[in-house]
Amino acid sequence: WAEYNRPGFPGDGYGFSTDDRMSYGSYAVDYLTNWAGPRYLGDLVNRSGGNLFKDGEVSHMADVKVVILSAFGASTLLIILSLVAIAYLRRRSTGGVRRGLFAGSVIALAIILGLGTLAVLGWQQFFTEFHHIFFANGSWTFALDDTLIRLFPGQFWMDAGIVIGVLVFLAALVTLILTWPTRRRRGLVNDAQDAGEVQP
């Protein structure tokens, strides 16, 4: 909603109103987050009674759904592994959790700054290479009057990339600040290690 109503966001030159975009776009987003098959989108019709999405668009959305579900699965696995690592470090290493989070935030900042630089230097090339990684050639390019392009033009993805990048950057930056190895924190770790060494 916020994106479609943002000042300066390009309108649709083929007839979709803002309400049309929000309505049809919600179906596309819902499809990516539910367990329905491709017919969920394939059976949708526009105001004139024709198919809202072409077969190629439906096929691409099915591919996108696989990528998103795979990402969710990988994220769940990483969360589980992170919890196991945190539990292990808390028992085995004084200050290990903080050091791990600090190192992770540094890596995250380096990655987001690197990707951000590539995107700024050439957004279209960055966007193209991203699709080449996850999708087969020719399966993700569409005409300007196709529904997916009319609902989600290039500016939409540019704005989405900026929002995601900023959120990840801020999360990593806050983590970095909160886990920064100050003299006091290093002293606490050393004291804890010394106490452990003198125990009988």
Confidence of residue 48 (pLDDT cuts 50, 70, 90): confident
**AA identity, residue 97:** V
pLDDT in tens, 145-170: 999 999 999 999 999 999 999 999 99
Please give the pLDDT value at position 93: 76
Asked if residue 191 has pLDDT above 90, the reply is: no
**Mean local confidence (pLDDT), 94-113:** 91
Task: Give strand pairing partners of 51.
Answer: 45
Let me know: does 141 contact 124? Beta carbons within 8 Å: no
What's the mean per-residue pLDDT of the chain? 88
Distance of CA 50 to the CA centre of its chain: 33
Task: Give strand pairing partners of 45.
Answer: 51
Q: Which residue has the higher pLDDT, 36 or 93?
A: 36
Let me know: does 151 contact 28? Beta carbons within 8 Å: yes
Confidence of residue 5 (pLDDT cuts 50, 70, 90): confident
Model pTM above 0.85:
no
Percent share of the chain, pLDDT over 70: 91
H or E element: which one contains 81? Answer: helix 55-92
Identify which of 9-18, 163-172, 185-194 has the greatest average pLDDT.
163-172
pLDDT in tens, 113-134: 999 999 999 999 999 999 999 9
